[in-house]
Structure 1
Amino acid sequence: MSLFHIDAGQEWRGGQRQSLFLVRELRKMGYRVEFVVQPGSPLEKKALEAGVPVLPLRMRSELDLLAVFRLARQMKKRNCRLVHFHEAHGLAVGASAARRAGVPLRFISRRVDFPLRSRAKYTRDVDAIIAISEGVRQVLLDSGVPGSLITVIPSGIDFSPFEPAGSGDFLRREFGFAPDDYLAGIVAALEDHKGHAYLIEASKIVRDQAPKVKLIVVGTGSLRLELDKQARDLGVEEIVFFLGFRDDVPRILASLDLFVLSSHHEGMGSSLLDAMASRLPVVATRAGGIPEVVMDRETGLLVPARDPAALAQAILELYRDRGLAARLAGRGLEVVHRKYSAEAMAGKVVELYERFAAKKGIRLQ
């Protein structure tokens, strides 16, 4: 018998990292897991690097019938008893395959706080939806999903890449920053809901009062050229540095003085967990599940979303008050280790699996 996990993501983002963490932990617990991924995707590469076997399956669209038939055949062949969908594309293909194969247990992870386009897609023949935050749970409820279907299990991370934190001189050497430059950074896809435009606008306000502050932007996405133009139009291109996709995020975080997340939609913000594990003070917006991770003036500073002036003032406050920044960073490190490990996340997911399996008289191991 086996458990199928399906993630059709073509990019390496927070959701893909979470699905890999979960599959890896389940395998450690002795579950037989088939990890269905797009061939040639960053997720396939990362999984293989982590020693996690994959089942590559090309899923070209949500209506890819060939993928449905191939996946259903694999589910029958490998006696699939449970399937877990990690994003919308994989859900569409995988749900059809699971129905054809008669898979008795079906779970969905929901990691974004966008309203549902199709309630039926998320509720038909589903045992449970795992929301990564209360914010996501509320959006699901507002979209008409019954509360009895929703379980909140926060994301978790692997702390090992951040311990030890590494040299804080890495970015300073690479870009020639001065020793007294203050490096504020964001790690997020360059998409509208991440709010980069507001952060770049805030950087102009910060530059006028504290020219030593630099903004490090890590990530790729559809807004890359637009954001670059905005920086040039605002005259901040000399303090805003676009690094693109990076495989060495822990080294980059170790080089920063401050982490910022400017989203106006956010399921939870797993990059915040990375930043807190890297002992960084955090400035973030009150969006989605972020306030569940960042407690204002306890583990970071929270500001309204879409408010460049508020973002700027929070950045300036921590730039000027290094004692406060250090206290927030220390408290954040304590909280992230206590509440947000990949092991704890996987343990809660297994409890959910086994509870539903017991109700249906199904053995998963």
Structure 2
Amino acid sequence: MPKKILFCATVDYHFKAFHLPFMKWFKEQGWEVHIAAKGEIDLPYTDQKFRIPIQRSPFKLKNVKAYQQIKAIIKENDYDIIHCHTPLGGVLARLAARKARKSGTKVLYTAHGFHFCKGAPTLNWLIYYPIEKQLAKYTDCLITINAEDYQLANHHKFKAIEVDHVHGVGVDTERFKPITETEKSERKKSFGYHPDDFFIFYAAEFNKNKNQQLLIRSLALVQDYMPNAKLLLAGEGALQESCKQLVKQLGIEHMVVFLGFRKDIDQILPMCDIAVGSSFREGLPVNIMEAMACGLPIVASKNRGHVELVQDQVNGYLVSPHDYGQFARGLLRIYQNTDLRSQMGAASINLMNTYSLSQISQELSTIYTRYMLEEENETKSQYHHAHI
């Protein structure tokens, strides 16, 4: 009978976006892969998918039903490993797996950026910190994806059996890679733009945390000095309309392009000139890593995720998420200095070696193998005692 792993997260898109290589890896080891999440996406490398009504808000009653369903699934399937992701997926799966752990199931949780961190609102600390600290007791391995969270979990003595640090979810550097200046010009034309347009790129949901207003206001400050610049904003969300109104109010409609939801980011990013990040809070942002893999310099707001990826004045600039002037100056410096742009782009590529998919696959497979072997040894031990 094959070994079984359950991956659990709030929504199934999370697995499509970040975890297919690891699901494939388990299939290659001969394991059965099960998924529990909300959503209707058909995922590859999946033997069984359970559609669970998990809600992002911890205060929704539907999460009680989701918890009961996950508990029943775990009881029925007798998993060897459960790996949970996302805050609510991590809460519900770890609570539901308490009894299974006593029978030898190993429970792993990847924190994709704690909601409590330096500079986070007090409310986040009051709500999320006690939850994560309590649930660490029911975790065999707590995996953090940035140095600050790793230090925080150790400093606050989270009682997971082990705390590990993995450098993000990995970026496919074969898919996201630089192109030549000639190719950039040709690709810009193929998308209907002028080959001399200077592209500043950001892909993120339009919400309060992602703070696109910082980018829009910064661009307005330098519009006279960067006449051919265009800010490309990919994504959708609740604040998209208010951002469009702000663009209109500042008179820079000719400089901002709202791309909507895109599936061709790997085609758009390499033709861009600068990538930006404006958020208040990040774990370890994939959008910035993808841009770095394409050889782009970065101008980003200071937060734990950006600080880990961007070395100030090496592969870009780090600025306050409230300082439009400083952000604008960072954009302008890179815009005006071709050599600086090339140097910072090359530095981005070098720094990405740590965060490539091949590197992360190696780090994660080492962790997985450890728990696979532990589980095998426990089974052998139980068999031995039963036959003495």
> TM-score scaled to structure 2, two decimals?
0.81
Using the alignment, how far apart are the partners of 2:70 and 2:114 within structure 1? 28
Q: CA deviation at 1:88?
A: 1.8
Q: Match for residue 272 of structure 1?
A: 288
Q: CA deviation at 1:321?
A: 0.7
Using the alignment, how far apart are the partners of 1:309 and 1:143 within structure 2? 37
Using the alignment, how far apart are the partners of 2:39 and 2:202 within structure 1? 29
Which of structures 1 and 2 has the larger relative contact order (alpha carbons within 8 angstroms, sep 6+)?
1
Using the alignment, how far apart are the partners of 1:53 and 1:272 within structure 2? 33
SS at match of 2:219: helix
Cα deviation digits, residues 287-311 of structure 1 (max 9, x gap): 1122221222322222233221111
Cα deviation digits, residues 108-151 of structure 1 (max 9, x gap): 11112421524234324112221110123355567773597532
Cα deviation digits, residues 188-232 of structure 1 (max 9, x gap): 221222221111110101212211111000112221111111111
Amino acid at match of 1:150: V
Using the alignment, how far apart are the partners of 1:37 and 1:317 within structure 2? 45
8 Å contact kept, 1:196–1:262: yes
Structure 2 counterpart of 1:120, from 116, 126, 131: 131
Using the alignment, how far apart are the partners of 1:165 and 1:9 within structure 2? 33
Q: Match for residue 58 of structure 1?
A: 52
8 Å contact kept, 1:25–1:343: no
Q: Match for residue 135 of structure 1?
A: 148
Q: CA deviation at 1:285?
A: 2.3
Q: CA deviation at 1:334?
A: 2.5
Change (3 A) 1:180 1:343: closer
Q: Match for residue 162 of structure 1?
A: 176
Q: CA deviation at 1:158?
A: 1.6
Using the alignment, how far apart are the partners of 2:225 and 2:156 within structure 1? 44
Q: Match for residue 34 of structure 2?
A: 34
Structure 2 unaligned runs (5+)?
117-124, 381-388
Q: CA deviation at 1:249?
A: 0.4
Amino acid at match of 1:7: A
Q: Match for residue 386 of structure 2?
A: none
Structure 1 counterpart of 2:11, from 2, 9, 12: 9
Cα deviation digits, residues 71-109 of structure 1 (max 9, x gap): 334334433022111112222332233235446311211
Q: Match for residue 367 of structure 2?
A: 352
Using the alignment, how far apart are the partners of 2:233 and 2:258 within structure 1? 5
Q: Where in structure 2 are the equivalents of 1:234-273 lying within 5 Å?
A: 234-273=250-289
Amino acid at match of 1:204: A
8 Å contact kept, 1:111–1:136: no
SS at match of 1:284: strand
Q: Where in structure 2 are the equivalents of 1:92-241 lying within 5 Å?
A: 92-102=91-101, 104-115=105-116, 117-118=127-128, 119-121=130-132, 122-138=135-151, 140=153, 145=158, 149-155=162-168, 156-163=170-177, 165=179, 167-168=183-184, 169-174=186-191, 176-241=192-257
Q: CA deviation at 1:253?
A: 0.5
SS at match of 1:192: coil
Using the alignment, how far apart are the partners of 2:88 and 2:31 within structure 1? 25
Using the alignment, how far apart are the partners of 1:321 and 1:206 within structure 2? 15
Using the alignment, how far apart are the partners of 1:357 and 1:144 within structure 2? 26
**How large is the Cα RMSD of the aligned pairs?**
2.9
What number of residue pairs does the alignment pair up? 354
Cα deviation digits, residues 296-337 of structure 1 (max 9, x gap): 23222222332211111111111111111112112221321x
Q: CA deviation at 1:38?
A: 2.2
> TM-score scaled to structure 1, two decimals?
0.85
Using the alignment, how far apart are the partners of 1:253 and 1:222 within structure 2? 24
Amino acid at match of 2:23: V
Change (3 A) 1:32 1:200: same
Using the alignment, how far apart are the partners of 2:379 and 2:275 within structure 1? 44
Structure 1 unaligned runs (5+)?
none
Using the alignment, how far apart are the partners of 1:101 and 1:359 within structure 2? 15
Task: Tell which deviates more after alignment, 282-291 or 354-363.
Answer: 354-363
Q: Match for residue 320 of structure 2?
A: 304
8 Å contact kept, 2:148–2:304: yes
Q: Match for residue 18 of structure 1?
A: 18
Change (3 A) 1:129 1:77: same
SS at match of 2:223: helix
SS at match of 2:196: coil
Amino acid at match of 2:360: M
Amino acid at match of 2:89: G
Structure 1 counterpart of 2:357, from 327, 342, 351: 342
Q: CA deviation at 1:273?
A: 1.3
Cα deviation digits, residues 36-94 of structure 1 (max 9, x gap): 23231xxx34x33xx55551322244654444344334334433022111112222332
Using the alignment, how far apart are the partners of 2:69 and 2:139 within structure 1? 21
Change (3 A) 1:31 1:290: farther
Task: Tell which deviates more after alignment, 245-254 or 117-126.
Answer: 117-126
Amino acid at match of 1:74: I
